Structure formats: C-alpha cells, structure tokens
A and B are shown apart, each in its own frame.
Chain A
Amino acid sequence: MSQPEGVDRREVMRRAVYLVGGAAALATFDAGHAFAADVPAQFFSKPRLVLLDAICATMIPKTDTPGAHEVGVPAVIDGMMTNWANDGTRMLVLGALDMIDAQAQAEKGKLFADLSPTDRLNVLKRFDASALSMGDKGYSQLKNVILTGYYLSEPGATVELRYIHQPGAWEADIPYAQIGRAWAVG
C-alpha cells in the first residue's frame, strides 16, 4: 500500500505533529461540507495541509459559489496522494507546495498561509505564470489536482458549472444562454 510522504526524517516528524494536531487542523474547515469535516488527512503533514488549503482557497476562491476550500478539495487531494500518486508524483507535488512557500518567504518574509488574501493572490499569480512557462511538472500536477478536485466535486460540477448525469437527449445546437455555464464533463 501507499506510504505517507516518503521516508526522510523531516517528513516523519511533520507527520507525527499532524497525528497529534490533525483533528484541530481539520476543525478549521467549513463544517458544512462532508469532505472537509469528516475525512482525516492521511498524507499531508499539518503545515503542508494548511499551506495546501491556503493555495486551494486562493486558486479557486469562494465567490457567489463555493470555492475549493469550501468543497473540501484539500481532503480530496490528500486522498489522491494517498491512493493514487506514486512516490515520484508525491515528491513533485510536495516540491511545488514548498516552492510556493519559498516564494512567499522571498517576496513577503512570511509563510504563504500567513499572508493577507491580496498578498496570497499576488504571490500565487506570479508563481503560476512562472512555473507554467517553465513547464514545472510538480506545479502542473498540483494545479491539475486542485482544478480536478474542484470542478468534479458535486458543488463544482453542479453549482459552479453544469452536469447532468443522464441527459436523455442530444441537442446538437442550442443557444449558449440556455445553459449559461460550461458543462463540467464534455
């Protein structure tokens, strides 16, 4: 079976911290969403979970619809890292998270999660543009799982976008206004 976060000592210690403080960390999630409240993190250490949550909330914020934090994307990604990713992918994603924190430290002298919402957005925006232009695999994967976790969540697919499991018909040419949002699944 999959192992949490590799084997180096630093990670083992972070995980030990998380095992003690995990429930408290998860209590900060919006209790109205099952994913956020009920699933304990298995893969991420507490500091990285806080970082990931801050990145998710910045990447897909709450607007007139729930954002990635509200629909519990961090827990979904934690599950994917545990059940899907191999060690190489895990290290890539962890590396991207750490790079974002490093960028926050370099620009603002603080951890990403400790920045104001405006500073988070500016730091992530610059990081995103730079990492994508350089073909950073770790960040591409991180952005991939955040967007996938959000847009294929029930609120992401049906409140933010549109999804009908059983359309029952194919209407090949209709006014866009009749749907008004993108289909979550093409």
Chain B
Amino acid sequence: MSDAPDFDAIVVGSGMSGGWVAKELSEKGLKVLILERGPNIVHGTDYTDMLQPWEVENHGRVNEDEVARDYAIQSRCYAFDTATKHFWVKDSDHPYLMSPEKPFYWMRGYHLGGRSLMWGRQTYRWSDIDFEANLKDGHGVDWPIRYADIAPWYDYVERFAGISGNAEGLAQLPDGQFQPPMDFSIVEQEVKQKLEAAYPTRKMTIGRCAHLTKPTDEQTALGRIICQFRSLCERGCTFGAYFSSLSATLPAAERTGNLTVQPDSIVHSVIYDPVKKRASGVRVIDANTKAGRTITARMVFVNASTISTAALLLNSKSEVFPSGLANSSDQVGRNLMDHVSGMGASGDYPGHIDRYYFGRRPNGTYIPRYANVTEPADDFVRGFGFQGGALRGSWQRGIWEPGVGASLKAKLRNPSGWTMHLSGFGEMLPDPNNRVTLDAAQIDKWGVPLIRIDAAYGPNELKIAERANQDAKEMLERAGCVNVNVHKRDDGSPAAPLGYGIHEMGTARMGRDPKTSVLNEWNQTHDVPNLFVTDGACMASSACQNPSLTYMALSARAANHAVEILKQGVIA
C-alpha cells in the first residue's frame, strides 16, 4: 500500500466557504475531495422555482403536526415552506442541546451547497473600522489582518460571484466590484432624500446583493444568466442568477477535473498524526449505511459552518490534543456570535398611489452603520445597520381588515398604499462564555456526541437593539411615514432570539497569539499547519454587516496561501 494520501486536500462542507476553497484549490491543480454530510443536490433539477403559486403544496404551509415533530426550529425561518422544506434539516434527525432560558435557534441546511442555497444574498464589505474594533475597545482579540490584506480578495470574489450594488464612497462600507445596482421604488427615493436631509451623517443605499445584473463572460460560461426578478431565490435558482456553491464555485471546480464530491458523508473527526504533527485525514460515517471509512489528504479545510466546525474540532481528540484538535488555546467553541436581529419598525408612506412597479426585486435598501462611526454613541460600543424597503401591500390586508363580498373584492383589486420598513442588524461582541461544547453522554443516530449551545446576548447587544428600534421609528417618522410601529416581540425583548440572524460566527477565531486564538492570519490553525478553517468560525468579531462576502474572500485568500506553502514544502 502506498503512503501517498488519497487526495491533496479534503474540504469538509460544500457551502458558502467550502465551495470557494474547493474552487481555488482545484483550479491550482490540487486533487480535492469535498465531503458533504447531506444529500446531493442537482442544480436546477432539485429546485422548485418553476412552481406557480397555485402549484405550491398547501400554498406553502407545511403540515402543522410535521412542523411540531420535525421542524420546530427550522420552521421559524421566513424561507421555510412546502417549496423549500427539503433544503432544511429535520430537527428531529439532527438534535442539539440548549437551555430553555438561553435559546439559540440554529437554522441549517445539510445538502450539497449548504446554506449558500437559501441565503439572503446580501453582500457587504467590512472596513478597517471593523478589523480594528477589537483592538480599539478591548473586546475579543485583535484581528491579525486589516482591510488592505483582504481588499484584493474582496475584488476577486466579487468579480467571480457577481455583486449588484451602488458605489457610495463610505469609509465604513467600502465599495466593491459592482454590477449595476437595482433601482429604488419611488417611495424609497423620497425616503432616502428626506432621511439624508434630516440626518446628514446617515446614508441610504440600495442593497448590495449577489445577483447578476450584468453577467460577465466568466459567469455566462458557467451557465449563469441575468436575474429574472422572480424573488423565488430560496427555492434555488435554475438560472444561477444568484451566487451559490451550486451555481458558481462547484461547477468551476468540477470543470478542472480535479474535484471529487462525496455527499452523504458525515465527518466524525479529523485524524492527527503525532509523528508528523499534521492532520493526516478524516474519519467519515456514511449517512445512510453508518459505515465508517478513513480518507487521507495532505491538508484539511474545515468548512462545516461555524457551530459544526467547532464541534468537529472538539470531537477530534487525541493524546496531543485531549480537548480537541487545534484547541491548545481552549478557544475552540468559544466566542459564538450571531447578529442582533429582529429590530426595526414599519410605517405607511402617504401618496404616490398612482405609482407601482414591475417585477419582484430580490433585494432591499440598506442604511450603513452610523453609530460610533459618523455619530458617537454614549452607552454602547460598535453599531448596527438597517435593511429595508418600500412596497405596496396586496390582498393579504383583507385577512385582518373588516369587509366581505363584492366590496372586499373591489378593494383588494388594487394594492394598498406604500409601506416602508427598516430591519436592524447589530454587532454582537465576542464573549468566551458564549460556547459550543459537546455532550459526551448523548449521541445522535450516527454516534456523534450532541452539540450543546450556551449563549446569550450581553448588555451591549441589548442596548444596540433598543437603540436600533428607537432609531428605526424616528427615521421613518422624519422621512414622512405615519402609523409607525416598532416591531414588537411577544417576549418583550428588543431583539429576536439568538440564531435568528443566521449569521453564526467566532468559534475558532483568528488572532495573532496562539495562546488566545485558534487561527493565524491565513486561517491556518496555530497548532496544526495543514489544518485550515475558513467558514464563519474564523471570525474574531461580527461587525454588523452580513458576513458571507467576508467568508468568501477569506476562503479564497487562505486557499491560495495554502497552495503556495504546499508548493514550498512547508506543510506537506
């Protein structure tokens, strides 16, 4: 038997970040294996985007008993319905532990492409305000990189992925390689004008999103076409008009001839060779047969998604790493963050009932962070931004407004007036006590220890949430809205529970010091030179921008670095 490893690289996970790693490594000539714990998904064939509204089972409503039994957590996501159910895990098959007092609702997609298939597609760069934040206010550890390190990689991934947006020249939200922006509705135009007049330190722009509005030859060659403005994205896009692993990175990797994809393959642990002091491969459980197998490689990238990546490292115990692989710092699983979400307000905007729109824009408006950037905040650090938009309501108002018969039908024939909403996303500080751990006493049906999530908002997050609610109401009122209501939650909290942001980050953070961080500036574990993590686990802080674009850039950057040092013989 040969000593040669089975593959040059194993990538654990095929989602947003794993897809990028596989693309970069295979394009550089490495033989790459992607291990995906869920089933295969065929781009197009397995999507439901061609279903007309009247063809959707139960008009989207998943059987209530089935929801309670199998999807108690996943069903909380706006994108969960009968047309998308197959893209969400069955909570009954994939249990995890949390205390009722500190809920963390973990939304997951276990299938080829992961959550890149159902993501919100909002794509924002981070700036040095974000990369310097930990150093400046002392929360968490200093990022080992700055904007200049990642900027060329933002350029690189944006050109390939295709990002629609408008350049604004803002320090806190750097411009990128944009395809043409989507237009504002008439009310959004007016709200922008009034808002920026009332608040000279604030700005409203159109959402930056991973949709093709002017495809490049490179994108066309992958079979992707311009966005058709159907806004059925969560069902998968047969046109490949939004970026996903399935529409973009995996096809690019596959055409190199260097990629192998093995779905239904649950990685149990990463194998550590104490003699060579390297990761030598992974132990895999077949999701269907539960048979085990071992696969070897010259390097391993863990891209299982923030919480699962931490769990995989924690489950990779050895004599050298008794508390989990690459965990000499004891930081693996700590510092779990999500975005503070669920804040905001909506109001009616009078007038313009003679104006309307054509098409369904899969994107909204964005108010970049201003707190502690252009305006000081006296009682909290960091800040928040707002997604939003102004549209006209349709027949749904007939459900709660009184009225029946021909007069109801006549009323609902026309849309309602305009409604503008703002939805806040706030930064969450890294806190070592917000943790992912394993419960060795309880196992799932594949014999893998259950994950326990123990996390809660701290005082800074709650202050951010309260301020975001106040500001949303005040901005809408000053922009001319009436009947403005803050989004109320049944439990009285100013924010949605943790998990609702679906932006988990931080459980294997980057840092300068191996004693206090898991990864170096190249997303390489301090402890094991051929072991990399480039998903959300790597994030040393959360900023308030949607994080996927940064995962993409860090993944491409790390993969290219790994190829370089592999060729130099540093990690072979």
Interface of A toward B, CB cutoff 8 Å: 2, 58-61, 63, 67, 76, 79-80, 83-86, 88-89, 121, 124-125, 128-129, 132-133, 140, 143-144, 147-149, 151-154, 157, 160-161, 163, 165-179, 181-186
- Give 5 A-B pairs besides A170-B183, A174-B355, A181-B414 with Cβ atoms closer than 8 angstroms: A58-B405, A167-B230, A169-B359, A170-B361, A177-B354
Is A160 in contact with B228, judged by CB distance below 8 angstroms?
no
Question: Counting CB contacts under 8 A, is B356 at the interface?
Answer: yes
Question: Chain B interface (Cβ within 8 Å of chain A)?
Answer: 50, 52-54, 56-59, 61-65, 68, 182-186, 188-189, 227-230, 353-361, 391-396, 398-406, 408-410, 412-415
- Report the minimum CB–CB distance from B260 to chain A (whole Å): 35
- Which residue of chain B lies nearest to A89 when distances are taken between CB atoms in the complex? B64
B398 CB contacts on chain A under 8 angstroms: 143, 147
A186 touches B393 (CB 8 A): yes
List 12 contacting pairs A-B, 8 Å CB cutoff, sorted by A: A61-B405, A67-B409, A79-B58, A147-B412, A152-B56, A161-B394, A167-B230, A167-B360, A170-B229, A176-B354, A181-B413, A185-B360
Residues of chain B within 8 A of A125, CB atoms compared: 403-405
| Neighbouring B residues of A165 by C-beta, 8 Å | 50, 52, 230
B415 touches A182 (CB 8 A): yes
Bound Cα distance from A132 to B402, whole angstroms: 7
8 Å CB contact of A167 from B50, B228, B404, B414 = B228
- The interface centre, meaning the residue of A121, A148, A171, A182 with most chain B CB atoms within 10 A of its CB, is A182
A121, B361: Cβ atoms closer than 8 Å: no
- Cα separation A172 to B59 with both chains bound (whole Å): 27
CA distance A173 to B188 in the complex (A): 10
Per a CB cutoff under 8 Å, which of B56, B227, B360, B408 touches A60?
B408
A185 cross-chain contacts in B, Cβ below 8 A: 53, 360, 394
The 4 tightest CB contacts between A and B, nearest first, are A172-B183, A167-B359, A86-B64, A171-B358
Query: B227 — nearest CB in chain A belongs to which residue?
Result: A170
Flag if A2 contacts B53 (CB, 8 Å): no
Contact A176 B52 (CB under 8 A): no
A143 CB contacts on chain B under 8 angstroms: 398-399
**Cβ of B68 and Cβ of A86 under 8 Å apart?**
yes
Contact B54 A157 (CB under 8 A): yes
Question: In the complex, A168→B230 CA distance in Å?
Answer: 8
Q: Tell me which of A63, A163, A167 contacts B358 (CB under 8 A).
A: A167
Q: A181-B414, A186-B391 are in contact. Are A121 and B404 (CB under 8 A)?
A: yes
Closest to B357 in A: A172
| CB of A139 to closest CB in B, whole Å | 10
A2-B63 contact in complex given A165-B52, A181-B414, C-beta closer than 8 Å = yes
For B189, the chain A residues whose CB sits under 8 A away are: 173
Given A147-B399, A182-B394 in contact, is the A124-B53 Cβ separation under 8 Å?
no
Once the chains are docked, how many angstroms separate the CA of A121 from the CA of B355?
A: 33
| A173 lies within 8 A of B63 (CB) | no
A165 CA to B228 CA in the complex, in Å? 9
Q: Are B414 and A59 in contact (CB under 8 A)?
A: no
